[in-house]
Amino acid sequence: MTNKNENIVSLKDIRNKTVRAFAIFFLLIIAALFGWHWLNHQPEDNGIPGPLRTVLNGNENLFSNYIYSLHNSSKAYSPADAAPRVRVNGDAGLGDDFDTAAWKLQVVRKPGDTLFISLDEIKALPKTEVIFDFKCIEGWSQITHWSGVKFSDFLNKYNLTSQSAMNYVGLNTPDKKYYVGIDTRSILHPQTLLCYEMNGKPLPMNQGYPLRLIIPVKYGIKHLKRIGTIFFSNTKPKDYWYERGYDYYSGL
Amino acid sequence: MQQMKKIVKKHPLAIRWFHWINFPVLAIMIWSGLLIYWANDIYRLGWGTTTVLKFFPDSFNKALNIPFRLAEGMSFHFVFMWLFAINGFIYVTYLFFSGEWKLIFPNKKSLKESWLVILHDLHIRKGLPPQKKYNAAQRIAYTGVIVMGFGSLITGIAIYKPVQFKTICALLGGYEWARIEHFTLTILFTLFFIVHIIQVILAGWNNFRGMVAGFEVVPATTVPPVANEAIEEPVTIMNKQKNS
């Protein structure tokens, strides 16, 4: 008959207990609503409330330092799996006033010291193929087939190893209207390409002819089309979508 | 003489905290998930070219102000995911160490009895099988949402970092399947929520108060006679008898 979970109490006592519990409950609800209001009205850091950005940067530290590994690669597919019609999703930085004949890749070794490299010189380097499930930050994905020179091979060939000891690599389109920043760990991944072919043919203009980045450990927003300049930095280079509220890291 | 009632402790304070933290956090996860899903809103119920239900109709998106907020959705999702995961992890740990799991996990009789509970709730059958804190249908439902929460976490990780956690992603059937599973679990959560709210309303005030104040008032069938002076202050007879 007796049970430590049972009590005989007066109605008044029940009322007091109830009122006290609900007073605390409503105070916590009000505190939560204030917290929500506070969070949404903090000064913005690149398009989102500052505290959210702080946590996203913390996520970046966690994943890039403790989870990311050069040995974790995007699953490789065979050419037959690749979609013949490749989705085109963005044209920022791909303006019409572009002289393909005059194009050379610019690599800033240090301020005032820029390498100019032609497409033929890049094509002369060892060729690597990557067939992988391309993932857009919007949520769709598509198996696509790319070839070019492995970014790490390119760095070795042009003696850019001291530059690649820096934390970040920045890439711009020739008109500087699209730009991304990528952590060097990810750019050194063996699947990262300076890419000049899609489905075994030269890149179409809308896929970034003459040269684009393919980096399967990142969302599509980082796969910059029509590379103009590459540079190295210890601080985060400007990033187009980061400025518009997206995660800087955007790693997969 | 004051009227006396018997109250029974129902939900420990810890469980009430887990419950009421989870409610807004899960709401934010679902809302921010909708902002993310909108950017590639390809799911529907139907066959061939016939669509019974599009996820989601334009009117739904418009009413909830969902379009063109992908970046915002992702930022909230990847912040509040930590609260959802940590709260859920501590909750499950608590269930195991407190022994509460014995009251919530289904037992051998639960499957059969849950059918009787459903018949009772639909007013087809009178009377419920004897139960402890939760009836058989509640045991299955509440254990089910724990499993669903874990499922949301795992499918979410598979979509969030499909390359770093590619084994998990592959076990779930690949990236696109993981996204479908993550979405389906969200729909199931909202269905659970709707049924839960209806049941809470039907169960009434005493039951709801249990999740806020922690106790439930039960008919005091065997109140022992008490001397008048003992009633001057709130009486806890059982404690006075040192039986606790």
The CATH class, in words, for A75-233 is: alpha beta
Q: Which of A10-24, A29-43, B218-232 is least confident?
A: B218-232
- The bridge status of strand A193-198 relative to strand A229-233 is unpaired
Q: According to the model, what pLDDT value does residue B123 have?
A: 83
Specify the higher pLDDT residue, A178 or A5: A178
DSSP state of A159: T
Can you give the residue ranges of every domain in chain A? Answer: 75-233
Please list, in sequence order, all residues whose beta carbon lies within 8 angstroms of the beta carbon of residue A139, skipping any fewer than 6 positions away.
B36, B37, B39, B40, B179
CB–CB of A97/A175 below 8 Å? yes
To the nearest whole Å, the CA of B161 is away from the closest chain A CA by 4
Q: Using the predicted structure, report yes or no on whether residue A227 has a pLDDT greater than 70.
A: yes
| Stretch A87-103: mean pLDDT | 89
Give the HSE-up count for residue B192: Cα atoms under 13 Å, Cβ half-sphere.
Answer: 21
| Stretch B96-122: mean pLDDT | 84
B126: confidence class by pLDDT, cuts 50, 70, 90: confident
To the nearest whole Å, the CA of B160 is away from the closest chain A CA by 6
The CA-based dihedral angle spanning residues A83, A212, A248, A134, taken in that order and rounded to the nearest 10 degrees: 10
Cα–Cα distance measured from residue A184 to residue A171, given in angstroms and rounded to the nearest whole number:
12
| Stretch A156-181: mean pLDDT | 94
Q: Using the predicted structure, report yes or no on whether residue A53 has a pLDDT greater than 80.
A: yes
B112: confidence class by pLDDT, cuts 50, 70, 90: confident
| Stretch A88-109: mean pLDDT | 90
B236: confidence class by pLDDT, cuts 50, 70, 90: very low
Looking at residue B16, its amino acid is: R
| Stretch A206-226: mean pLDDT | 95
| Stretch A54-72: mean pLDDT | 94
Q: Using the predicted structure, report yes or no on whether residue A185 has a pLDDT greater than 90.
A: yes
Specify the higher pLDDT residue, B113 or B222: B113
Query: If we measure between CA atoms, which residue out of A182, B154, A12 comes closest to residue B146?
Result: B154
- A-B Cβ pairs (cutoff 8 Å, strict): 144
Domains of chain B: 13-204 (1.20.950.20)
B111: confidence class by pLDDT, cuts 50, 70, 90: confident
To the nearest whole Å, the CA of A169 is away from the closest chain B CA by 21
Please indicate if any CB of chain B lies within 8 Å of the CB of A27: no
Handedness of CA B41, B44, B49, B50 (dihedral sign): negative
- The tokens of A84 are what? 């013949």
Handedness of CA B198, B28, B151, B132 (dihedral sign): negative
CB–CB of A16/A23 below 8 Å? no
Q: What is the pLDDT of residues B197-210, one digit of tens each?
A: 998 999 899 999 99
B2: confidence class by pLDDT, cuts 50, 70, 90: low
Q: According to the model, what pLDDT value does residue B129 have?
A: 77
Q: Taking CA atoms, what residue in B is nearest to A39?
A: B76
Q: Indicate the residue of B2, B9, B36 with minimum beta-carbon distance to A12.
A: B2
Q: According to the model, what pLDDT value does residue B5 have?
A: 85
CA angle B146, B150, B151 (to 5 degrees): 115
Q: Using the predicted structure, report yes or no on whether residue A22 has a pLDDT greater than 60.
A: yes
B221: confidence class by pLDDT, cuts 50, 70, 90: low
Q: What is the pLDDT of residues B25-40, one digit of tens each?
A: 999 999 999 999 999 9
Q: Which of A10-19, A214-223, A241-250, B223-232 is least confident?
A: B223-232
Enumerate residues 41 to 70 of chain A having a beta carbon within 8 A of any beta carbon in chain B.
47-49, 51-53, 55-56, 59, 63, 67-69
Q: Using the predicted structure, report yes or no on whether residue B227 has a pLDDT greater than 50.
A: no
- Mutation for A interface: B79, B103, B175, B222, most A CBs within 10 A: B79
Please indicate if any CB of chain B lies within 8 Å of the CB of A75: yes
Looking at residue B183, its amino acid is: F
Percentage of chain A modeled with pLDDT above 90 = 87
| Stretch B78-90: mean pLDDT | 97
Q: Using the predicted structure, report yes or no on whether residue B231 has a pLDDT greater than 50.
A: no
